[in-house]
């Protein structure tokens, strides 16, 4: 697969980028995508929820009334949740994370990239940088693009502080490194922009043995 390379002005440079079919042109595996996205979101949960249970309340454990003969239900403690003291089986702090096989995670990312390629939502841009970290630079960059800029993900081959700092104040523009690219971010953007140097990095990561 080959795509035209554009510059920061949104114009074609006359160069083409060759994308590996083993990464960008496979048959998408929906179940692998589902599992990987589920893991990413599960690992991101804090799991700090907590409510008071009967053991968290102070109160007498004296039996309130005799066991039988009152016509009502048995009751053994004032801390019983039926009296409003705590919640029975309430949520407790826990870790929602789980593990997935690395090959499945690679398959999920390949599937997400291939789906973006099928939808023609991948753009390749020549490598660039900003002279200084200014939000204005990113705004001008997006205004020069002709595609849908509602949610844009820019993937860099290596860390560029000026670009990353320039994008921090923009809600719908995210910048990441090729080594940090994940399935959720790929699917969550309306347009995926790959820098020239990011392509070999992505292919090496996803085709690693």
- What's the pTM? 0.83
pLDDT band for 107, please (50, 70, 90 cuts): very high
Q: Judging by beta carbons within 10 Å of its beta carbon (0-12, 13-18, 19+), is residue 205 exposed, middle or buried? A: middle
| Residues 136 and 155 grouped into a single domain | yes
| Residues 179 and 122 grouped into a single domain | yes
pLDDT band for 82, please (50, 70, 90 cuts): confident
Place of tokens 């499945």: 104
Place of tokens 């309430």: 90
Q: Is the pLDDT of residue 147 over 90?
A: no
| Residues 123 and 162 grouped into a single domain | yes
| Residues 38 and 127 grouped into a single domain | yes
Dihedral in degrees, nearest 10, Cα atoms 177, 183, 11, 163 = -30
Rg (CA), the chain: 27
Tens digits of residue pLDDT in 93-106: 999 999 999 999 99
Q: Is the pLDDT of residue 209 over 80?
A: no
Could you tell me the CATH number of the domain that includes residue 198? Answer: 3.40.1370.10
| Residues 106 and 170 grouped into a single domain | yes
Pairing of strands 173-177, 191-195: unpaired
Domain count, the chain: 2
| Residues 186 and 125 grouped into a single domain | yes
Bridge partner list, 195: 125
| Residues 56 and 36 grouped into a single domain | no
| Residues 82 and 19 grouped into a single domain | no
| Residues 108 and 168 grouped into a single domain | yes
| Residues 166 and 198 grouped into a single domain | yes
| Residues 33 and 110 grouped into a single domain | yes
Range of the domain at 8: 2-45+96-206
| Residues 133 and 190 grouped into a single domain | yes
């Amino acid at each position: 697969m080959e795509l035209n390379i554009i510059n920061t002005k949104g114009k074609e440079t006359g160069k083409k980028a060759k994308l590996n079919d083993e990464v960008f042109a496979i048959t998408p595996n929906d179940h692998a995508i589902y599992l990987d996205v589920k893991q990413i979101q599960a690992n991101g949960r804090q799991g700090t929820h907590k409510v008071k249970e009967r053991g968290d309340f102070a109160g007498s454990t004296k039996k309130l009334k005799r066991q039988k003969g009152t016509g009502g239900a048995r009751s053994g403690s004032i801390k019983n949740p039926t009296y409003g003291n705590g919640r029975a089986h309430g949520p407790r702090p826990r870790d929602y994370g789980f593990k997935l096989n690395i090959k499945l995670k690679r398959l999920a990312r390949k599937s997400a990239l291939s789906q973006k390629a099928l939808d023609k939502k991948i753009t390749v841009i020549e490598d660039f940088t900003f002279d200084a970290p200014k939000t204005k630079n990113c705004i001008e960059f997006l205004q020069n693009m002709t595609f849908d800029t509602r949610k844009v993900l820019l993937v860099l081959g290596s860390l560029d502080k000026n670009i990353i700092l320039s994008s921090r104040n923009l809600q719908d523009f995210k910048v990441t490194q090729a080594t940090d690219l994940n399935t959720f971010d790929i699917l969550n953007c309306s347009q995926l922009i790959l820098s020239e140097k990011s392509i070999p990095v992505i292919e090496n990561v996803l085709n690693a043995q």
